[in-house]
Amino acid sequence: MNLIIDVGNSSIKAAVFQDAKLLKTYIGSFENFSKKFQKIRKDYPEIAFSILSSVVKDTSEIEKVLNKETELFVLDENIKLPFKNRYTSPQTLGKDRLALVGAGVKDYKNTNLLIIDAGTCITFDFKNDRNDYLGGAISPGLQMRLKALHYFTAKLPLIELEEDIALIGDSTRNSILSGVLNGVAAELDGIIDRYKADYKYLTIILTGGDTQILSKRVKNGIFANPNFLLEGLNYILEFNKTQ
């Protein structure tokens, strides 16, 4: 049984897998990880392996617990991957992007695949039908754009994100929402069209925290899976257990 730990900027996501089957997910804060682990262990005493992915530099407490209680794998540039990583600076590649490509190989092997992760940043990651990861792009996410309009101007307000907004904004508030939401949707459609022009039979995945709001606005065919990253981490863990 596997424990998957994904450490983000403000919270931790954890998941328990039995082979490839997702049993349960958890979301929490950084504090008292040892107690949080023991709670998970109480629910699933069979946990024997773990993998840690983190965008935070100091994960020493988490690693100490996982090393003591499980056989731990850390997702970094040295871990074995079920695909060829052709990124020219693998040491700077976000661990979440590696995990997403791992999930892409698991579910869409030998397929041209574009993964769009709509979170704090919007990332685009592409693997070809030979399972080579070539790279992609990084763009500001929805919340980042709303905050930038506020903090880098003198008078524009900080607006809360809403789903239902017209193309033509009839107030400053609605103009900001229209610009951000429709602008991102047009950006995604435009980038998808460029990939489709270069790669036939392209499959597109949209995942991340803003999946729901964007999937309604992007015209291209999208398959959304909120657990895609966790599944990718588990797949990379399973791959390393056999090496």
Pairwise CA distance, residues 62 & 74, whole Å: 11
- Point out the catalytic residue in the list 96, 117, 125, 210: 96
Q: Which residues face 24 on adjacent strands? A: 16
Cα gap 160→118, rounded to integer Å: 17
Q: With contact defined as beta carbons under 8 Å apart, do 19 and 66 qualify?
A: no
Q: Determine the Cα–Cα distance for residues 131 and 152; give it in Å rounded to an integer.
A: 41
| Whole-Å CA distances, 211 to 43, 48, 89, 168, 188 | 30, 32, 28, 23, 12
- Whether the CA torsion 165, 169, 171, 172 is positive or negative: it is positive
Strand duo 49-54 + 2-7: pairing: parallel
Distance of CA 137 to the CA centre of its chain: 13
Residue 96 bears catalytic tag: yes
The token duo for 241 is 């257990």
Q: Which pair of tokens denotes residue 186?
A: 């047009």
**For residue 73, is it left (φ>0), alpha (ψ between -120 and 50) or beta?**
beta
Residues designated catalytic: 96
